[in-house]
Structure 1
Amino acid sequence: MDVGFPFGIAGTGRTRLTGPEDHVRDMVEQVLFTSPGERVNRPDFGCGLLDLVFELNGPDLAAALRVTVQGALHRWLGDVIAVRSLDVTAGEAVLRVELCYVLLATGGVRTETFDSGVTR
C-alpha cells in the first residue's frame, strides 16, 4: 500500500492509503498538474498543464501539449509506465488528457482521463 494523493486521513485516523495501480494514477496526475518551479527540490518537475488552460485554443496548442505531456511522463515515470496512447484536447477553459498506459511492474493496461477543470 502507498500513501494516497491528495494526502488525507482515513476513517481509522491514520494516513489514507491506496493500492499500487491507483498510486501510479496519482503519480501521473501529479506530473500533469504540477507546474515547473512549484516543487522546491525539483524545480523542473511536472509539465504545467494548468498554466495553459487559458491559452489560445486550437490544434497547435493540442499538438504542443501532447509533446510536452509525453516528454514529462517519459522523464518522470518512464521506469513505472509505458505510454500506449495519449490524446490532449483543449476546450472552454478545460484541458482533457486521455491516456492509455502499461504498468511496467505488472503488465496491466490502464486508461485514464484527466481534466484540468475538475478536482478530485
Structure 2
Amino acid sequence: MTVPTSANRAYYNRYPFNVDGRGRTASATSTDYIKQLVEQVLFTAVGERVNRPTFGSGVNQLVFSPNSNELASATQLLVHGALQQWLGDLIHVESVVVRNEDSSLHVVVHYIIKRSQQRQSAEFTRES
C-alpha cells in the first residue's frame, strides 16, 4: 500500500507487516518494497488469495518435486510469466533461476525497476 506523505515521497508498508521500534507501522524503501512484491508473487500459491485466485506462481510446491532439467525450465517460465503478469508495470524481468536442492528451494530473479532503470537481483530461499 502506498500512502503519500508531506514531502511527496511514497511510504510503503514493510512485508510481512510488522511494527518498528517506535510502535509505528514499519516502512520500506521503494527498492525494498518491489523486492517484497516479487517475494509475494513467488511464494503465494495460485488460489491462495480469495479475491485474486490467479495471483501467485505456486513455486513453494517445488520443494517436494524431483529434480530434473525439464522441471527447472518449466518452472523458470512459469515464474517469469507470473512476475510479468503481476508486476509488469513496475519491473522488467531479465532472468529467473530456480534450483531445488535437497529440501531447499532457491530462486534468483534479475530485474530492472522501470521507474528508476535500476538493475536489481533478489535471491530467496525456502526450506521445506
Give the TM-score, by structure 2 length: 0.88
Partner of 1:101: 111
Unaligned ranges ≥5, structure 1: none
User: What do you get for the CA RMSD once the two structures are aligned?
Assistant: 1.2
Asked if the contact 1:2–1:20 (Cα under 8 Å) also holds between the matched residues in 2, the reply is yes
Identical-residue share of aligned pairs (%) = 40
Give the TM-score, by structure 1 length: 0.94
Asked if the contact 2:99–2:107 (Cα under 8 Å) also holds between the matched residues in 1, the reply is yes
CA distance in 1, matches of 2:91, 2:80: 11
Partner of 1:48: 58
Higher strand share: 2
CA distance in 2, matches of 1:96, 1:52: 10
Q: How does 1:51-70 map to 2 (within 5 A)?
A: 51-70=61-80
CA distance in 1, matches of 2:26, 2:41: 20
Between 1 and 2, higher relative CO (CA 8 Å, sep ≥ 6) is seen in 1
1:58 deviates by 1.4
Unaligned ranges ≥5, structure 2: 1-10
Extract structure 1 runs of 4+ deviating beyond 2 A: none
| Structure having the higher Rg | 2
